[in-house]
Amino acid sequence: MKEDVFEIGGVALESRLFTGTGKYADDAVIPAVCEASGSEVVTVALRRVDLDAVSGNVMDYIPRHMRLLPNTSGARNAEEAVRIARLARAMGCGDWIKIEVISDSRYLLPDGYETCKATEVLAAEGFVVLPYVNADLYVARSLVSAGAAAVMPLGAPIGTNRGLKTREMVRILIEEIDVPVIVDAGIGRPSEACEAMEMGADACLVNTAIATAGDPVAMARAFGRAVRAGREAYLAGPGASRALAAASSPLTGFLGEG
Amino acid sequence: MSFYEECAAYSALPLAERFASVTVGDVRRSLAKTSLDADDLLVLLSPAAAPFLEEMAARANRLTVQHFGRTIQLFTPLYLSNHCANHCVYCGFNATNVIKRSQLTLEQVEAEAVAIAATGLRQLLILTGESRAKASLEYLESCLAVLRRHFPSVSMEIYAMEEHEYARMVAAGIDGLTMFQETYDEVLYERLHPHGPKRDYRFRLDAPERGCRAGMRVVNIGALLGLGDWRKDALLTGMHAAYLQRHYPEVDIAASLPRMRPHAGAFQPTSVVDDADLVQIMLAFRLFLPRLGITISTRENARLRENLLPLGVTRMSAGVSTAVGGHSEEGETVGQFEISDGRSVEAICAMLRAYGYQPVFKDWQPLGDEGGTWSKKRRTA
């Protein structure tokens, strides 16, 4: 089997599971979650970062070897996302940025148009841009043209743990989009992450399902394994599933008869 | 069209009869739905839903953890001024109450800010009485210039303003608006507010909407439970929140559930909201609006606040003084109301952690001037 390289913005990654830092009962569990999951990329909402914190700065809990993926949570339009990204860079959080532009507090669905605008500006400023979007082919193509390093379609509305509801649309992105496709949001169970990987997704980002699990560390480990298993299955090339049993007497069998 | 018309249409319905006629079957049907409408909210606030609190609580807990995680946002109020031109019969700052009146100087604002920031809190709620002469927009802007150096998020609970005035406040660094309607019963409202600018029911009712239009990021509404019929006020608070969510999807909408507290002055609550009622309201809100922020203040005692935690609470006040200058000086003035949970920020955090919740101190990053005057620190590599 040829080497399975996964690269984002010129950086090779071993793990195809990205994790998050929101919703934990106690941020002190984050290092153990990162380790158990094997994840190398962790997203953090810049709005939550307080470098002057009296106690409990979330950044203190992110292992140093992890690649930071600050996100623009709270941005309601492209301009706010751009400002948050620049602040993240100014605060020493690096050049990677996950763009979230959400102006719907009921469903938290991302605004594709504003996300494209922000991507264009930030990619031109040298950011490695990973935009969170609906699983929409046209939006994804626009993002690639705008310079996105990956696209992150949602599996289901953020925080819902409802699984891969956008399966068919994600499949189209995987087939059509040349940059990595990272399924973000909605994945509630390791089996769903595994399914996304089997389909050929390049990676998954999982936060709520780990952070709100009864045992976040054990759940992180389970997700790490599921993502790996799904990737291996994809590479192995699963046999085609059949809707009907194969006929034991092939209808075209006569062609071989002499 | 504003919420006023919707509210008036609902208020014209025989709501007391509707609450009384809800059956156990209605409650079961509402609870079986995945997404609830206004009729379901009425059903869940009715007496017939009272035996279903445990079932509602399990669902409310699940929804809250799913959408907000095991986290509680912390903030503290800062009373800038207690001068007031209003005659709200239930309030300790009522213009006719003989209490010492004062307003913080900018030096005192700085001292209060330093004292509060030292506790780690980064989310502040500033309050004044209603005195445009004393607590003018210019005064508020000066205070904000000081406060923004210490707090990335400052909300306001101040007299109702015009939209352009709210826009001025947003430009000065305010990101959240708290505005309680007190009661949605227009007739009762006029009786409770005999004089003063607050007497204008509609101007106050539309204030949250003006705040949304002016660019507030968070708008927190509420009724002072106990002033009127709590079921009606809770129903209309929920409807108001839903109206704001629908029309201003970019704004985070939150609701508070303040109950009447003892205060200076003789007015006593007309209807009593007991603990079970309060729980029923909170659960009904959570099931009706899964993403609604829900604030519980120190009006409630420590034990009850702890028990309410898993039921839908997303924001709490901590280290509270309702007196002007109460954070850095000793009891200079009388507070607006008596608080029931006087624990320090540290004690509240310890309690939250013991219950498996993370206290969240900071949840916004100011964007003006690429971060404004707040912290310029860098993460060390």
The residue among A67 and B379 whose pLDDT is bigger is A67
CA distance B178 to chain A (A): 17
| CATH number for domain A6-237, candidates 3.20.20.70, 3.40.50.720, 3.40.50.1970, 2.40.50.140 | 3.20.20.70
What is the gyration radius of the CA atoms in chain B, in angstroms? Answer: 20
| Residue % of chain A over a pLDDT of 90 | 61
Quick one: average pLDDT of B136-152? 93
Nearest residue, CB atoms, A51 vs list B70, B250, B379: B379
Interface test with B, best of A49, A105, A111 (most B CBs within 10 A): A105
pLDDT at residue A254, as a whole number? 74
> What mean pLDDT is predicted for residues B202-223?
96
DSSP string, A5-54: -EEETTEEES--EEE--SS-S-GGGHHHHHHHHT--EEEEEGGG--TT-S
Tokens of A64: 């140093």
> pLDDT at position B338, please?
65
Q: Where are the domains of chain A?
A: 6-237
The per-residue pLDDT for range A92-144, each reduced to its tens digit, is 888 999 999 998 888 889 999 999 999 999 999 999 999 999 999 999 999 99
Number of domains chain B is built from: 1
Mean pLDDT score of chain B: 88
Q: How confident is the model at residue B293 (pLDDT cuts 50, 70, 90)?
A: very high
The domain that holds B330 is classified in CATH as 3.20.20.70
d(CA B378, CA A124): 23
pLDDT band at A76 (very low <50, low <70, confident <90, very high): very high
Full residue range of the structural domain in which residue B209 is found: 3-27+38-370
Q: What is the pLDDT of residues B160-182, one digit of tens each?
A: 999 999 999 999 999 999 999 99
pLDDT of residue B47 exceeding 90: yes
Q: Residue B331 pLDDT more than 90?
A: no
Interface membership of B122 toward A (CB under 8 Å): yes
CB contact, 8 Å: B251 with chain A?
Answer: yes
pLDDT level of residue B377 (50, 70, 90 thresholds): low
Give mean pLDDT, residues A56-68: 85
Q: So what's the pLDDT on residue B314?
A: 95
Residue B37 pLDDT greater than 90, yes or no:
yes
For residue A208, give the nearest of B66, B152, B367 by CB distance: B66
Q: Are B378 and A47 in contact (CB < 8 Å)? A: no
Is B310 a member of any domain? yes
pLDDT confidence band for B267 (50 / 70 / 90): low
Put simply, the answer to whether B363 touches A47 (Cβ < 8 Å) is yes
Q: Determine the pLDDT at residue B83.
A: 79
At residue B381, does pLDDT exceed 60?
no
Do the Cβ atoms of B70 and A22 come within 8 Å?
no
Say how far apart CA B283 and CA B288 lie, in whole Å: 8
- Establish if B344 touches chain A: CB-CB under 8 angstroms: no
Please tell me the distance from the alpha carbon of residue A66 to that of residue A7, in angstroms, as a whole number. 15
Contact, B147 vs B110, CB < 8 A?
A: no
Separation CA A232–CA A197 (nearest Å): 9
Pairing of strands B123-128, B153-157: parallel
Question: Where does the pLDDT of residue B310 fall: very low under 50, low under 70, confident under 90, or very high at 90 and above?
Answer: very high
Evaluate if residue B262 carries a pLDDT over 60: no
Whether residue B358 and residue A76 make contact (CB cut-off 8 A), yes or no, is no
Asked whether the beta carbons of residue B365 and residue A84 sit closer than 8 angstroms, the reply is: yes
Asked if residues A196 and A155 have their Cβ atoms less than 8 Å apart, the reply is yes
Q: Is the dihedral of CA B84, B89, B159, B118 positive or negative?
A: positive
Are A91 and B377 in contact (CB < 8 Å)? yes
Residue B180 tokens, joined: 């309680």
The one catalytic residue among A2, A98, A117, A165: A98
Nearest-Cα distance to chain B for A192, in Å, is: 17
CB–CB contact A22 B69 (8 Å): yes
Report H helices in A129-239. 137-146, 167-176, 190-198, 208-211, 216-236
Nearest to A105 among B250, B353, B363 (CB): B250
CB B362 to CB A84 under 8 A? Answer: no
CA separation for the pair B361, B349 (Å, rounded): 10
Chain A residues near any Cβ of chain B (below 8 Å): 22-27, 46-56, 59, 74, 76, 80, 83-84, 86-87, 90-93, 103-106, 108, 159-161, 208, 211-212
Task: Determine the average pLDDT of the residues in B15-38.
Answer: 95
| Contact of B322 with B79, CB cutoff 8 Å | yes
Tell whether B32 is covered by a domain: no
Prediction pTM value: 0.86
User: If we measure between CA atoms, which residue out of A140, A183, A145 comes closest to residue A165?
Assistant: A183
Chain A residues closer than 8 Å to B364 by CB? 47, 74
Q: Is B247 at the interface with chain A, CB within 8 A?
A: no
Are B365 and A87 inside 8 Å of each other by CB?
yes
Tell me the nearest-neighbour CA distance from A37 into chain B, angstroms.
19
Is residue B178 domain-resident?
Answer: yes
Q: From the CB of residue A10, how many other CB atoms can be counted at a distance below 10 Å? A: 7
Least confident residue range of A12-16, A47-51, A207-211? A47-51
Shortest alpha-carbon distance between residue A6 and chain B (Å): 25
- Mean of per-residue pLDDT scores for chain A: 89
* Alpha-carbon dihedral B308, B311, B314, B316, rounded to 10 degrees: 0
Which chain B residues are Cβ-neighbours of A104 within 8 angstroms?
Answer: 249-250
Residue at B228 is within a domain: yes
Which of the two residues, A192 and A26, has the higher pLDDT score? A192
Beta-sheet pairing, B123-128 with B71-81:
parallel
Six-digit token pair at B65?
């953890």
Identify all chain A residues contacting B120, using CB atoms and an 8 Å cutoff. 53-56
> A119: distance to nearest CA of chain B, Å?
18
pLDDT-above-70 percentage for chain A = 93
Burial of A74 (0-12, 13-18, 19+ CB in 10 A): buried
Decide if A23 and B245 are in contact by the 8 Å CB cutoff: no
Mean pLDDT of B138-158: 94
Res. B73 pLDDT band, cuts 50 70 90: very high
Q: B191: how many CB neighbours lie within 10 A of its CB?
A: 11
Binary contact (A105, B370; C-beta < 8 A): no
Higher pLDDT, residue A175 or A246: A175
Report the distance separating Cα B192 and Cα B194, nearest Å: 6
**Does residue B378 lie in a domain region?**
no
Q: What is the mean pLDDT of residues A171-180?
A: 94
Instruction: Give the whole-angstrom CA distance, residue A24 versus residue A21.
Output: 7
How many CB atoms are closer than 10 A to CB B356? 11
Task: Tell me the chain B residues in contact with residue A125 when contact means C-beta distances shorter than 8 Å.
Answer: none
Distance CA B333, CA B324 (A): 6
Does residue B243 surpass a pLDDT of 90? yes
Chains A and B: how many Cβ contacts under 8 Å? 109
**Chain B, nearest residue to A87 by Cα:** B370
- Render pLDDT for A215-242 as a digit per residue (tens, 0 to 9): 999 999 999 999 999 999 999 886 666 6
Which is nearest to B366 in space by CA: A47, A154, A179?
A47
Contact B361 A90 (CB under 8 A): no
3-state percent breakdown (helix, strand, coil) of chain A, nearest 5: 40, 15, 45
Say yes or no: B370 contacts chain A, CB-CB below 8 A.
yes
Kind plus residue range of the DSSP H or E element containing B112: helix B106-117
The more confident residue out of B252 and A241 is: B252
Distance CA(B272)–CA(B341), nearest Å, equals 20
Q: Is A98 a catalytic residue?
A: yes
pLDDT of B49 strictly over 70: yes
List chain B residues with CB under 8 Å of A57.
none
